Structure 1
Amino acid sequence: MTFAGFLFRQAFVHPPQIPSDVTLKDRTVIITGANSGIGLEAARQCVQMKAKTVILAVRSSSKGEAAKKDILSTNPGSSTDVEVWLLDMESFESVLAFGERASKLPSLYIAMLNAGVFKFEWTTSPTSGIESSLQVNHLSTALLSLLLLPVLRKTATDTGHPTRLTITSSEVHMWTPFKEQKAEKILDRLNDKEFFGDYMDRYSVTKLVNLIFVKELASRVDGEKVVVNLINPGSVDTGLHRDGNKLIQTFDRVMGRTPDEGGRLLIDAAVVKGRGTHGLYLSEAKVTNMSAFVGSKEGEKVQKRIWDETIGCLRKHVPEGQLD
């Protein structure tokens, strides 16, 4: 997809409304990054669809409670139980604790892994020492995906209906030259400050690496039990670039979709779309090709490398048996 095409779609292609007959009655939903932007609006829409429980996975309890209050204020009389659970994606320990708590849920029908960061300079996780974009956008997202799969599978078996694991991706995965693929170890190169380079490329690469990992994950998961898919919401005025320059912030305000539109696209992928999207990438509420590289012979080789490197990295930070 070209940048000109991206601009055209941003300006003229609007997300569809969620069908009025879609319901989440008796369903439990988890949404990460749920205190603002796309995650907040997706959570609001889940409440509107009468979900039994909506779990807001957030880093700050005060912001989570504010989001809960906001959601319920626009849904007066709702019987949905909106819960605030702490989750710091820069901490493997926090992700593990969240996964342990989620494993005790009676059921989990949908998990929307939406949390992400856009870093304009090199920063590292205070607990793991891993570069923040790599930690949040890929490694912690990968870990949480793996930790939630058992309860998602169990729910599918108990109910006879496939559950959903939807990861927020990005069109920018197509925009990187992905020089790191030439390194002996891709993740080690990404975690080397000397090679941090351009902030836009760093965001693009971490989104690409995670997309490739999720593609491999989907190939290992029975889509009749758990539908695993990826969603590109496009550019959305959410504050993702709040630490950046004025030009990017202005672009978001002028060309970005509204958080409500971004939330609808996330809901479309996680709730409306079905088994036919397993292992696939959606943009503008349609199944769309991933980058040419991802589908190439070389991309297939890199997919295996990224899977192995990711699991290897996680095993260094996760207690034995947690990823079995």
Structure 2
Amino acid sequence: MFSFQVLNFTINQYHESEMENQTIVYMLVLNGLSDRPSLPLFLVFLLIYLMTVTGNLLILLLIFTDSHLHTPMYFFLGTLACLDMSYSSVTVPRMLFDLLTGLRIISVPACITQFYFFLFFAVSEASVLAVMSYDRYIAICRPLHNIQMMRWKVCVQLVSSMLGFCAVHALVHTLLLTKLTFCKSNTLQSFFCDLPQLLQVSCSDTLVNVVLIFIFAILFGGVILGVTFYPYITIIRTVLKIPSKQMRSKAFSTCFSHLTVVFIFYSTSFFNYLRSKVSDQHTEDKVASVFYSIFIPFLNPLIYSLRNQELKTSLRKALQRK
């Protein structure tokens, strides 16, 4: 009851001005996972977040300390672990705060800032998954050229240029968002600030935003999807030609973890963004958003560690040294 009184009081304090008989708002309300404070949900997601950070930090520590893991594959896996921690940290702390207090209010500048980092880390994660597909293709289909083509310098330059492009990509969308005004229903049907919900509550003309989203989705998204999935056509053909059953199993094992992560990431993202939006689908949207923004960073270290014999061996050695 107290949280609703605080919410009503805060909403009454919004800075407002009149423009074309509409009220421009400078504060937004996140619909959240619960309409009121929920300690059980807070504890569940706090535990998931702590396990996400711990699992990814453990992978980074193993890769950094074990010289046997100083290969391109684990360099990209370490990059993915960093992105998973950052990706999760953009949305979960704010969601935990809202679950504990029930306020669910965020300023427009803070909302747009959250969106920038969320988009940057999400697109960066998709890009790293694509690069990991290419690395698997080189390692399995062109093993004699692996050392030459995937040198450390090449790996670092590849990741650096990719992160730079993702930062510019997120910045372009963010700068266009800063030009919009918000004066419709100021409730975002999500627990974090995402682009579709922000465009939905804007009273400005969003045609440029929508066209830019479409262009980037076709060009940049098409390249990422192609680099992610096309190599596996050649990989599967190559692996099936390997005479040794044990070698085939080992080759498929190195790809299975990556394919599992890719499938979960893209299936939940496509479900949330590409299907039609109707009023009774908000609950399904939230479930999909929880999967790709919270559970994927949590599941990634589990998937890679459980299916990766080298990581498990490195962990056992680290524990034995202690």
TM-score using structure 2 length: 0.26
Q: Which has more strand, going by share of residues?
A: 1
Task: Choose 1 or 2 for highest CA Rg.
Answer: 2
Tell me: higher relative CO, structure 1 or 2? Use CA pairs within 8 A at least 6 residues apart: 2
Q: Which has the higher helix share?
A: 2
